[in-house]
Amino acid sequence: MARPPPTPLFVLRGSGAPINTLHFSCQEPSSALLFSGSGKGAIHVWNLHTRRAERVLEGHGGSSIVWVNTIGSKETLISQARDKRLCTWNLSEGRSDVTQSIFTGSVGFCQGSVMEMHPQRWLLAYPAEDMEELVELPSGVPVCSLKPDAKLGMLMCVKLWQPDGGCGPMLLAGYEDGSLALWDVAQRQILSRLTTHPEPLLCLDFDPVGLRGVSGSAERAVSSWVLDGQQNLQLRDTVELVNPGISQLRLRMDRRILASAGWDHRIRLFSWKKLKPLAVLQYHTDTALCVTFSDHKDSRLGLMAAGSKDQRISIWSVYNDS
Amino acid sequence: MTYDVGGNERRAIDSMPQTCSKEVCYACVRQKRLTSAGNLHFRRMSQIDNAKVAFAFLRPACVLLTREQSIQNVQQLNAQLREVSDLALQQLQEYVLFPLRFVLKTPGSKRENLIQAVVEGIEYVLSNTCVHSWDLLQELFSELCLCLSSPGKPGKPASVSEDLKAAVIQSLDALLHAAYGDIALQLYKPVMLPGLGAAISLLLALAEEEKSRKVQAAALKCLLILLLQCDCKEPHLWVGQEESCALATAFACFLPGITQVLTRVITGDMKQGHAVTVKAIKVWYRTVGLVMADEQLSNADSSEASAADLGKVGELLVKRTQTWVKETSEKVAILLKRITSCVSVHQHWKVRLEMVNLSENLLSTCQKSLKQCISNLLEVLVGKLNDENSAVRDKCSAALEAIALRNQTGDNHTFNDILSENLHSLATSLPRLMRISDDQHKLFILNVFLGYLKVLGPKVAMVLNSAAHLQRISKALMQVLELDITDVRIVEERSSSSLEHTGLGPHELYTQKKHFVYFTDANIFSSLQQICRFLGYYGNLYLLVDHFMDLYRESSVYRKQCALVLNEIISGAAGVGLVAKHKYGPVSKDDLKAAVMSIIEEYTSLNNWHLPTNSVESDRDEDSHFSHLRILSITNSVQENHNQLLPAKKSSTVHQMNSNIWQICIQLEGIGCFAVALGVDFRLLLMTTLYPVLEKAGDETLLISHSALCSLWDICRACGYSSLKELINMNSDYLLNDISLNLQRLSLHPHAPRVLAVMFYHSDASLLPLVGDVVQDVLTALDLSYDERAPVFCAVLHSLVKALVRWFPAKLGEKKYSAPAGARCEDPLDVRQFLLDYHKLRCQAEGLLEDEGDTGDIEKPSTVPDSDEDLEDPDKKPELPSHITMAKDVLERCIHLLSDPSLRLRLKVLDVLELCVCVLQSHEDVLLPLVHRCWPALLQRLTNDDPLAVLWAIKVLCTLGETCGDFLRKRVSQEVLPRLTGSLLKQAPLSAKAGPIYAHTLAFKLQLAVLEGLGTLCLRLDLADSDLDLVSEACLPYLSCRQPARLQEACLSVFRHLIKVDPDAVWFMLNELYCPRSYEPPHSDLHAVRLAGMGRPKNEYTDNILRLLAEIH
| Nearest beta carbon to residue B741 from set A8, A16, A310 | A8
So what's the pLDDT on residue A269? 93
Minimum CA–CA partner of A282 in chain B: B744
Interface of B with A in 645-684 (CB under 8 A): 683-684
Contact state of A51 with B736 under an 8 Å Cβ cutoff: no
Q: Is the pLDDT of residue B271 over 50?
A: yes
| DSSP label at residue B131 | B
pLDDT band at B314 (very low <50, low <70, confident <90, very high): low
Contact state of B741 with A51 under an 8 Å Cβ cutoff: no
pLDDT digits (tens, 9 = 90+) for B876-902: 556 778 888 888 888 888 888 888 888
Nearest-Cα distance to chain B for A13, in Å, is 6
Q: Which residue has the higher pLDDT, B379 or B831?
A: B379
Best residue in A1, A11, A48, A49 for a mutation probing chain B (most B CBs within 10 Å): A11
Q: Is the pLDDT of residue B536 over 90?
A: no
**Residue B632 sits at the chain A interface (C-beta within 8 Å):** no
Q: Which domains does chain A have, with CATH numbers?
A: 108-240 (2.130.10.10)
Nearest-Cα distance to chain A for B814, in Å, is 32
pLDDT band at B647 (very low <50, low <70, confident <90, very high): very low
Calpha distance B248→B320 (Å, rounded): 10
So what's the pLDDT on residue B19? 36
pLDDT digits (tens, 9 = 90+) for B807-839: 888 654 444 443 444 444 445 556 777 788 888
Q: Is the pLDDT of residue B1086 over 80?
A: no
Average pLDDT over residues A101-106: 86
Minimum CA–CA partner of B730 in chain A: A52
pLDDT digits (tens, 9 = 90+) for A194-211: 988 888 999 999 998 889
| Nearest beta carbon to residue B734 from set A7, A51, A285 | A51
So what's the pLDDT on residue B852? 42
Of A47, A45, A57, A54, residue with least CA distance to A10: A47
Query: Mean pLDDT for chain B?
Result: 76
CA-CA distances (angstroms) from residue A125 to A136, A209, B288, B640? 9, 21, 96, 58
pLDDT digits (tens, 9 = 90+) for B707-736: 888 888 889 988 888 888 888 888 888 888
User: Which residues from chain B sit within 8 angstroms of residue A11, using beta carbons?
Assistant: 737, 740-741
Contact state of B773 with A13 under an 8 Å Cβ cutoff: yes
Q: Is the pLDDT of residue B551 over 50?
A: yes
Interface of B with A in 490-519 (CB under 8 A): none
CB B880 within 8 A of CB B769: no
Chain A contacts to B (CB-CB under 8 A): 7-8, 10-11, 13-14, 16, 49-52, 283, 285, 310-312
Q: Is the pLDDT of residue A289 over 80?
A: yes
So what's the pLDDT on residue B962? 75
So what's the pLDDT on residue B131? 81
So what's the pLDDT on residue B828? 52
Most confident of A220-224, B652-656, B741-745: A220-224
So what's the pLDDT on residue B31? 53
pLDDT band at B491 (very low <50, low <70, confident <90, very high): low
pLDDT digits (tens, 9 = 90+) for B76-86: 888 888 888 87
Contact state of A51 with B733 under an 8 Å Cβ cutoff: yes
Residue B583 belongs to what H/E stretch? none
pLDDT digits (tens, 9 = 90+) for B9-21: 333 333 433 333 3
Contact state of A51 with B737 under an 8 Å Cβ cutoff: yes
Q: Which amino acid is it at A256?
A: R
Interface of B with A in 684-713 (CB under 8 A): 684, 687
Alpha helices per DSSP H over B321-438: 322-343, 349-365, 374-384, 390-409, 412-436
pLDDT band at B630 (very low <50, low <70, confident <90, very high): very low
| Helix, strand, coil distribution of chain B in percent, nearest 5 | 75, 0, 25
User: Which residues from chain A sit within 8 angstroms of residue B687, using beta carbons?
Assistant: 10, 50-51
So what's the pLDDT on residue B818? 39
Minimum CA–CA partner of A50 in chain B: B684
The lowest-confidence range among B207-216, B394-403, B503-512 is: B503-512
pLDDT band at B742 (very low <50, low <70, confident <90, very high): confident
So what's the pLDDT on residue B198? 82
The lowest-confidence range among B458-462, B794-798, B1058-1062 is: B458-462
User: Which residues from chain B sit within 8 angstroms of residue A15, using beta carbons?
Assistant: none
pLDDT band at B856 (very low <50, low <70, confident <90, very high): very low
Contact state of A311 with B773 under an 8 Å Cβ cutoff: yes
3-state secondary structure of B650: coil
pLDDT digits (tens, 9 = 90+) for B281-291: 888 888 888 88
So what's the pLDDT on residue B949? 85
Calpha distance A42→B1031 (Å, rounded): 61
CB B984 within 8 A of CB B1034: yes
pLDDT digits (tens, 9 = 90+) for A158-173: 999 888 877 788 899 9
pLDDT band at B411 (very low <50, low <70, confident <90, very high): low
Calpha distance A39→B398 (Å, rounded): 71
User: Which residues from chain B sit within 8 angstroms of residue A51, using beta carbons?
Assistant: 687, 733-734, 737
Calpha distance B210→B272 (Å, rounded): 11
Best residue in B634, B682, B740, B882 for a mutation probing chain A (most A CBs within 10 Å): B740
Calpha distance B132→B183 (Å, rounded): 7
Q: Is the pLDDT of residue B857 over 50?
A: no
Percent of chain B with pLDDT over 90: 2
Contact state of B770 with A13 under an 8 Å Cβ cutoff: yes
**Residue B770 sits at the chain A interface (C-beta within 8 Å):** yes
Nearest-Cα distance to chain B for A9, in Å, is 9
Query: Mean pLDDT for chain A?
Result: 88
Most confident of A264-273, A295-304, B783-792: A264-273
Q: Which residue has the higher pLDDT, B648 or A138?
A: A138
Size of interface A-B (CB pairs under 8 A): 37
**Residue B636 sits at the chain A interface (C-beta within 8 Å):** no
Of B598, B434, B452, residue with least CA distance to B519: B434
Average pLDDT over residues A56-83: 89
3-state secondary structure of A236: strand
Q: Is the pLDDT of residue B631 over 50?
A: no
CB B180 within 8 A of CB B27: yes
Percent of chain A with pLDDT over 70: 99
So what's the pLDDT on residue B638? 35
So what's the pLDDT on residue B316? 67
CB B373 within 8 A of CB B332: yes
User: Which residues from chain B sit within 8 angstroms of residue A47, using beta carbons?
Assistant: none
Minimum CA–CA partner of B774 in chain A: A13
Contact state of A50 with B684 under an 8 Å Cβ cutoff: yes
pLDDT digits (tens, 9 = 90+) for B586-609: 678 888 888 899 999 999 888 888
Percent of chain B with pLDDT over 70: 80
User: Which residues from chain A sit within 8 angstroms of residue B737, using beta carbons?
Assistant: 10-11, 13, 51
Nearest-Cα distance to chain B for A51, in Å, is 8
List the helix and strand counts (H, then E) for chain A: 0, 28
Nearest-Cα distance to chain B for A320, in Å, is 20
Calpha distance A219→A221 (Å, rounded): 6
